[in-house]
Amino acid sequence: MSLTNDIQRLQQFLCVIERGSIGRAAIALGMSQPALSKSLQRLEEVLAVKLFDRTPQGIVPTVFGQTLAAHARAILTEVRHAEDEINALQGRNSGRVRVGAGPSIIAQVLPRTIQAFLVEQPDTRVIVREGLIEELLAALVTADIDIAVVSNARGIDEDVFVHKPVRRDSLSVVAAASHPLARAGRCRLAELSAYRWVLPDRNEPVRHRFEAVFRAVGLSAPEPTVETNSALCMTSLVRDGGFLTWMPRLLIEDDRGAEPLVPIEVDDIAWERQLYVCWRRTTTQLPACARFAALLCATLDGSLATAAPLLPSTTPDEPTPDRSSAQDADLGHSLRL
């Protein structure tokens, strides 16, 4: 088989897995069902294994099919990276950076990083994705994102990911400045159940940690009046509705609202998290991704002013000086493993 046919067959094979049906996959691919069946049969002949089983629920991959699917996704990912890098080297595209993070990073950190990055590389497209740690790491594996900011190193496989610790952040009870607890300055854990709460849903790690704090001292955690994973909804209810919440302090840094949000000092609560910037070990990162990762680390550790000087606008006769290469030498090298 030629390289082109190999890639096409792998794409067709994955489409069948995703659709759960040769018929539906054929429609999605714009080809006839017999032609798709013949392509899959050829793949099975080359590998000398059965890739699919037919069940009442549809077509499902065998253990051989599951193994091939994992490698096929990795192969197609690297092909896309190769195309992107070749196109960038030839100047045929402006490049892109895809970054994933939780709501506090997206709200407080990424805007500053993106602004600094676009001053240097104004033609590069930045794509931001919000998600949980597990979702972000999975997206890194499948190359749906290039860089992620996560907490909790227990979820990071060092054989798969490079992870750079960049900052410690704490979670705390948060209220509007006019809330009775904010005026009191400090309270005990048992007092918190007397107030209305807005919290993330029970699948969120932040919610697990919140409930664990109460269990550790033999108390039941407050039942929330509102559950939401929207940081905007949460902060609005706290600011305007008199609710309490539990969130990273990073999310309320530099809060300039008409009703500022403030952390409440609570006895028996002291919880910190380590933040990491992550990327895949097996991927050759494009220079734009390496630079964005460097600026993201600098934003998180507070050194952005020196790591990302704002460059003046240039005319076509005045090319932008490459001020980032020396600063990114170590990080850029590690990103190109």
Mean pLDDT by 10 residues, the chain (337 residues): 67 91 91 92 91 87 92 81 70 76 86 94 91 82 86 74 87 90 86 93 83 89 91 89 89 71 82 86 75 92 62 38 39 34
Residue 237 counted as domain residue? yes
Domain termination site, one of 81, 104, 119: 81
Q: How far apart are CA 157 and CA 218, in angstroms?
A: 34
Are 179 and 129 members of one domain?
no
Q: Angle, nearest 10°, between helix axes 63-89 and 3-19?
A: 120
Are 200 and 127 members of one domain?
no
Residue 316 counted as domain residue? no
Domain termination site, one of 60, 81, 102: 81
C-alpha distances out from residue 183 to 11, 37, 293, Å: 60, 70, 40
Question: Across the strands, what pairs with 263?
Answer: 174
Structural domain range at position 107: 94-168+274-310+324-335
Within 8 A by CB and 6+ apart from 1, the residues are 9, 42, 46
Are 77 and 18 members of one domain?
yes
Residue 38 counted as domain residue? yes
Domain termination site, one of 29, 50, 81: 81
Are 26 and 71 members of one domain?
yes
Residue with tokens 């400090």: 186
Total of domains in the chain: 3
Q: Are 210 and 246 in contact (CB under 8 A)?
A: yes
Are 68 and 146 members of one domain?
no
Within 8 A by CB and 6+ apart from 26, the residues are 32, 33, 35, 36
Residue 19 counted as domain residue? yes
Residue 319 counted as domain residue? no
What's the confidence (pLDDT) of residue 282?
65
| Angle of CA points 73, 76, 77, to nearest 5° | 80
Q: How far apart are CA 231 and CA 275, in angstroms?
A: 18
Indicate the SS3 state at residue 149. strand
What's the confidence (pLDDT) of residue 92?
57
Task: Considering only CA atoms, give the Rg of the chain.
Answer: 25
Are 258 and 283 members of one domain?
no
Residue 182 counted as domain residue? yes
Are 124 and 265 members of one domain?
no
Are 152 and 289 members of one domain?
yes
Are 278 and 164 members of one domain?
yes
Q: Are 5 and 70 in contact (CB under 8 A)?
A: no
Q: Are 7 and 76 in contact (CB under 8 A)?
A: yes
Residue 315 counted as domain residue? no
Are 267 and 247 members of one domain?
yes
Are 44 and 108 members of one domain?
no
CA dihedral 64, 65, 68, 69 (to 10 degrees): -150
- CATH number, domain of 113, equals 3.40.190.10
- CATH number, domain of 224, equals 3.40.190.290
Are 149 and 282 members of one domain?
yes
pTM: 0.65
Among 184, 246, 186, CA closest to 212: 246
Indicate the SS3 state at residue 260. coil
Q: Are 103 and 235 in contact (CB under 8 A)?
A: no
Task: For the chain, list the strands marked E by DSSP.
Answer: 52-55, 58-61, 96-101, 125-130, 147-151, 161-176, 186-187, 198-199, 226-227, 245-248, 261-266, 271-280
- Read off the amino acid at residue 289: C
Residue with tokens 């704490």: 170
Residue 256 counted as domain residue? yes
